[in-house]
Chains A and B, each alone.
Chain A
Amino acid sequence: MDLTRRQFIAIGGSSAASAALGSGLTTRFWGADPDPVHDPRTDGDQVIPTFCEMCFWKCGVLAHVKDGRVTKLVGNPAHPLSRGRLCPRGTGGTGLLYDPDRLKKPMIRRGERGEEHFEEVSWDTALDYIAGKMTALKEAHGPEALAFFNHGYGASFFKTLIGAYGSSSIGAPSYAQCRGSRDVAFQLTFGAPVGSPEYLDIENTRVLTLIGSHLGENMHNTQVQDLARMIDRGGEIIVVDPRFSTAAGKARYWLPIKPGTDIALLLAWAHVIVRDGLYDHAFVESSTVGFEELRAHLADKTPEWAWARTSIAPERIVETAHFMAGARPASLVHPGRHTAWTGEDTQRGRAIAILNALLGTWGRAGGFFLPAKMKVPGYPVPDAPKPSRHAPDTPKGAVFPFMDEGLAHGLRDASIPGTAEFDIKGWFVYGTNLIQSLPEQKKTIEAIQHLDFLVAIDVLPSEITGWADVVLPESTFLERWDDLAITPWREPFVAVRQEVVPPMYDSRPGWWIAKELANRLGLEAFFPWESAEAMVRHRLEAGKIDVAAMLATGVAGGRRAVVTVEEGATPAFGTPSGKVELYSQQMADAGLPPLPVYTEPEAPSADEFHLLFGRTPTHTFGRTTNNRFLSEIYDENELWVNARIAREQGWKAGDRVVLVSQDGGRCAPIRVKPTERIRPDCVYMVHGYGHTSRELNFAKGRGADDSQLVTRVKVDPVMGGTGMNVNFVRVERA
């Protein structure tokens, strides 16, 4: 009889067990009872659907609740943005809920501004104080002198409040410091938004070009899911990035471009595609205007011309142009998201849009889909009063012709007296740490000195709450209701955020804070509902959506709509010409270049590096770096330095260095990571570290804050965005 080793062990085990049984010597330790499979019992007694706020993507989450505690968060299969799966941040949402450093009580400042000395007060005291300040500010300076800075979904109630109060001085760093230039570029070219989440049919893309997008490190759940599906179906990737990103690791082509020269490459690609007749003739003929002007503009933008500027060899430019054109229309040039790079960003976005037009990707499978949206009536409220003065968010006399949202940094600048049409005198800050989310940190701190008052509403302390006069602790997304999320998508849907567990500590949901302030300001007509839950239920009923089913699944709708030309959809272009504007008459009329123009970026000196910053999939800006659960994965940023440079300079892995910007901005010490994955003229770090707030007991002092090095910006003349990748740094030993 042949026995394998495993069978032998099994037989041996069972005879030992029989012997033990026979002798009556069974104990738990040596017993014959089969080893039970241990169940950690983290499944909830209740599973409550809601949507995530660990970033702005708003994926559907199922929260497992056991004995009143959230044990785990998993993806909601019914939700079109999560499809049952979550990114690490969503999975780590419990780390926010149970963060011991959370803001717990309303607080009023008792020391000097920025000293972080506060007294805990009751909600009545805090709200009465704020209402008094708001009333006084309105009388003294007019309501428009109150600025509202915001990020995140809960801001909707405060937008209503500030609007009702009479101010339109509203800005989010997500516009001028992030995606604004891209949005404006696509609006100018296609007369349609790219959306957030972007309307990209990546799962059906055959060639995906990523230029200035590190998808995969940008952990936008649905888009990363689509990216993986695309790769699985044989799709190919072209990555343009000074850094060998995660996506570059999956790409057929990686073009390590010289920073700030994207427009030259984009124009050269367009040159090759036009010169070699590779563009979508039918689409260009039927749906665009300005092709002849474009052709003339591109005539001298040869691959050789671009080579000298971008450092990308001409044959690579030709090869990649042919490669992407060979897959059209399922050949998507990703519009990017954070695109506040060089101040030429709307022009850069236009060049990306034009390339997509040449490839005929608009409305096509594997390109940009044409989203559908469900209709749910709003809760009836009065119209907000019309402010008598426009927000002073641009410098005196400056005009950004295509700016279509408020400029957060402009509202900051207007707080320094005499610089704008009128002075901003008070700040209402919701969900954004302006110290890290705005460039030119010194200016932010100076502006704060001139304010009558600063209110910060947030879940966690941060640098900006440390500078505030009043701090209000909001409940996390797992402890509150919010307004419905009605998302235009391939599968249009409505999602609900509901309270998973009751608010911890003395925190309150945003809707309650806004409504209580409104009551104190005589603005109660704008908050006519009892609670956000009542408001949501009313809206669902008015929209003829089954409320019970909706609350049980978290989602209504979610069925595939007709969203591509292949399926029978017809694109409509909301431009003045009704067509895709390759040549932009609108821009020409505004005195701006009607076709994207390349301008030579400034170059760093011999001892300086381009400062690059980006994301890790585990964190959202600086908002999650105190999350102990997420930080088990990534708790401190590192400075990527080209391995050869590090060798030459004698910098070893783990050595601590300090970066100094050309204006003298310094960051905290950061550990060196020598790597082959970056150009020799660049250094890179993940954004969101180097916190200084005393109250962030975990995150403070870990890693470095790139925003301390963003001491200068180049302003985009089209929409007022702040190009931030114009800073060069020297590296000093710490």
Chain B
Amino acid sequence: MTSKRYAMVVDTRLCVACKACVLACKAENDVPEGYCRDWLVEEVRGRFPDLRAENRSERCNHCTNAPCVGVCPTGASHIAEGGVVLVTAAKCTGCKACMAACPYDARYVTPDGYVDKCTFCLHRVQRGEEPACVAVCPTHTLHFGDLDDRESGVSRLLTERDFKVNHPESGAEPNVFFLT
């Protein structure tokens, strides 16, 4: 079996912060009311009238050194196919150790008492589909693919373009990249 390293590349230049990604995720994953697995950061810097803006669609970074997996006492948080970090609801006691460990505040406790978060829509990816947020995005801001495949769209984007990650200092090696 060839290895895979799934990643998301977010082109901040294209994003208009419409939040279709947030709603498409909620609909696809039947996320309970009041919770979301992805969100928008709309950052504006400067003083009127010299301003700069950046819109970032953010979510779990599916880190290569995922701190949440290391701290999980029950093995509920684990690394699945392609490096995707998942939580098995049946194994989760809702202790929130993972939430404390996550540098990105990507996790929440569902009303049913277990921890949940973005799955990169692995159930769709396994069927050959894109994650729901990627599929809906009107501006093609979001790209998903395999970084171990040098020919993939995400690999090419990270070769050709400048990018950054959130909280590089955490050492978690996040797999969500922001093109600048």
Identify the A interface with B (CB < 8 A).
5-6, 9, 13, 28-29, 35-40, 42, 71-75, 84-88, 90-92, 94, 216-217, 219, 221, 224-225, 227-229, 231-232, 244, 246-250, 254, 256, 617-618, 628-630, 632-633, 642-644, 675-680
Q: How many A-B residue pairs have CB under 8 A?
A: 164
Q: Which of B11-31 contact A (CB under 8 A)?
A: 11, 13-14, 16-20, 22-24, 26-30
A231 pairs with B26, CB closer than 8 A: no
Which residues in B have their C-beta under 8 angstroms from that of A74?
24, 135-136
Contact of A676 among B17, B47, B119, B141 (CB under 8 A): B47
Which residues in B have their C-beta under 8 angstroms from that of A228?
14, 16, 138-141
Which residues in A have their C-beta under 8 angstroms from that of B30?
40, 42, 71
For residue B41, CB closer than 8 A to chain A, the reply is no
Contact of B53 among A35, A225, A249 (CB under 8 A): A249
Contact of B24 among A5, A91, A217, A225 (CB under 8 A): A91
| Alpha-carbon separation in the docked complex, A13 to B78 (Å) | 10
Chain B: interface secondary structure? mixed
Which residues in B have their C-beta under 8 angstroms from that of A629?
23, 26
Which residues in A have their C-beta under 8 angstroms from that of B23?
88, 91-92, 629-630, 632-633
B16 pairs with A676, CB closer than 8 A: no
B53 pairs with A246, CB closer than 8 A: yes
A85 pairs with B137, CB closer than 8 A: yes
B65 pairs with A6, CB closer than 8 A: yes
Known: A88-B23, A256-B49; 20 extra A-B contacts, CB below 8 A, are A5-B70, A6-B64, A29-B91, A37-B86, A74-B136, A84-B135, A85-B138, A88-B22, A94-B27, A216-B16, A225-B139, A228-B138, A244-B51, A248-B53, A249-B52, A618-B19, A629-B26, A630-B23, A632-B23, A677-B44
Which residues in B have their C-beta under 8 angstroms from that of A679?
48
18 contacts between A and B (CB under 8 A): A5-B65, A6-B64, A37-B80, A39-B123, A40-B29, A42-B27, A72-B27, A75-B136, A85-B135, A85-B138, A91-B27, A216-B16, A232-B14, A244-B53, A247-B16, A249-B44, A256-B48, A629-B23
Which residues in B have their C-beta under 8 angstroms from that of A632?
23, 26, 33-34, 36
B14 pairs with A231, CB closer than 8 A: yes
A42 pairs with B28, CB closer than 8 A: yes
| Alpha-carbon separation in the docked complex, A336 to B88 (Å) | 50
Which residues in B have their C-beta under 8 angstroms from that of A35?
78, 80, 86, 88, 91
Closest to B48 in A: A676
For residue B1, CB closer than 8 A to chain A, the reply is no
B65 pairs with A617, CB closer than 8 A: no
For residue B89, CB closer than 8 A to chain A, the reply is yes
Closest to A221 in B: B138
| Alpha-carbon separation in the docked complex, A40 to B19 (Å) | 21
Contact of A642 among B48, B53, B89, B122 (CB under 8 A): B48
Closest to A643 in B: B48
For residue B46, CB closer than 8 A to chain A, the reply is yes
Contact of B55 among A36, A71, A92, A249 (CB under 8 A): A249
| Alpha-carbon separation in the docked complex, A475 to B54 (Å) | 40
B135 pairs with A254, CB closer than 8 A: no
A86-B138 in contact given A6-B79, A28-B90, A231-B14 (Cβ < 8 Å): yes
B48 pairs with A678, CB closer than 8 A: yes
A227-B136 in contact given A29-B90, A40-B28, A40-B123 (Cβ < 8 Å): no
* Minimum C-beta distance from A119 to chain B (A): 33
Which residues in A have their C-beta under 8 angstroms from that of B2?
none
Contact of A86 among B49, B119, B136 (CB under 8 A): B136
Sorted from nearest, which 9 A-B pairs have the closest CB atoms? A249-B53, A228-B139, A216-B16, A617-B18, A72-B27, A39-B123, A228-B14, A91-B23, A35-B88
* Minimum C-beta distance from B92 to chain A (A): 10
Which residues in B have their C-beta under 8 angstroms from that of A88?
18-20, 22-23
| Alpha-carbon separation in the docked complex, A446 to B139 (Å) | 45
B11 pairs with A216, CB closer than 8 A: no
Contact of A9 among B48, B70, B126, B139 (CB under 8 A): B70
Closest to B75 in A: A13
* Minimum C-beta distance from A331 to chain B (A): 20
* Minimum C-beta distance from A118 to chain B (A): 29
B51 pairs with A617, CB closer than 8 A: no
A224-B89 in contact given A72-B28, A617-B18, A679-B48 (Cβ < 8 Å): no
Closest to B129 in A: A43
| Alpha-carbon separation in the docked complex, A405 to B4 (Å) | 59
Which residues in A have their C-beta under 8 angstroms from that of B16?
216-217, 219, 224, 227-228, 246-247, 617
| Alpha-carbon separation in the docked complex, A35 to B75 (Å) | 10
For residue B69, CB closer than 8 A to chain A, the reply is yes
Which residues in B have their C-beta under 8 angstroms from that of A227?
16, 139
B48 pairs with A618, CB closer than 8 A: no
Query: 1/0 per position for B79-117, CB-CB distance to A under 8 A?
Result: 111000010111100000000000000000000000000
Which residues in B have their C-beta under 8 angstroms from that of A224?
16, 18, 138-139
Which residues in B have their C-beta under 8 angstroms from that of A221?
138
Contact of A71 among B27, B78, B138 (CB under 8 A): B27
Which residues in A have their C-beta under 8 angstroms from that of B47?
676
B140 pairs with A232, CB closer than 8 A: yes
| Alpha-carbon separation in the docked complex, A73 to B13 (Å) | 27
Which residues in A have their C-beta under 8 angstroms from that of B49?
244, 254, 256
Which residues in B have their C-beta under 8 angstroms from that of A29?
74, 90-91
A38 pairs with B123, CB closer than 8 A: yes
From B13, B20, B69, residue with most partner A Cβ within 10 Å: B20
Query: 1/0 per position for B123-158, CB-CB distance to A under 8 A?
Result: 100100000000111111100000000000000000
* Minimum C-beta distance from B91 to chain A (A): 6
Closest to A678 in B: B48
A633-B48 in contact given A74-B135, A85-B138, A225-B139 (Cβ < 8 Å): no
Which residues in B have their C-beta under 8 angstroms from that of A71?
27, 30
Closest to B76 in A: A35
A676 pairs with B46, CB closer than 8 A: yes
Which residues in A have their C-beta under 8 angstroms from that of B14?
228, 231-232
From A38, A94, A232, residue with most partner B Cβ within 10 Å: A38
| Alpha-carbon separation in the docked complex, A488 to B104 (Å) | 46
* Minimum C-beta distance from A102 to chain B (A): 18
| Alpha-carbon separation in the docked complex, A317 to B50 (Å) | 17
| Alpha-carbon separation in the docked complex, A74 to B27 (Å) | 10
Which residues in B have their C-beta under 8 angstroms from that of A254?
49, 51
Which residues in B have their C-beta under 8 angstroms from that of A36?
88
Closest to A228 in B: B139
* Minimum C-beta distance from A354 to chain B (A): 28
| Alpha-carbon separation in the docked complex, A256 to B14 (Å) | 22
* Minimum C-beta distance from B98 to chain A (A): 14
B20 pairs with A86, CB closer than 8 A: yes
| Alpha-carbon separation in the docked complex, A84 to B137 (Å) | 9
Which residues in A have their C-beta under 8 angstroms from that of B79?
6
Which residues in B have their C-beta under 8 angstroms from that of A6?
64-65, 79
B27 pairs with A633, CB closer than 8 A: no
| Alpha-carbon separation in the docked complex, A230 to B138 (Å) | 13
A85 pairs with B136, CB closer than 8 A: yes
| Alpha-carbon separation in the docked complex, A256 to B79 (Å) | 49
* Minimum C-beta distance from B123 to chain A (A): 4
| Alpha-carbon separation in the docked complex, A38 to B70 (Å) | 21
| Alpha-carbon separation in the docked complex, A90 to B24 (Å) | 10
A244 pairs with B27, CB closer than 8 A: no
* Minimum C-beta distance from A542 to chain B (A): 35
Which residues in B have their C-beta under 8 angstroms from that of A73?
27
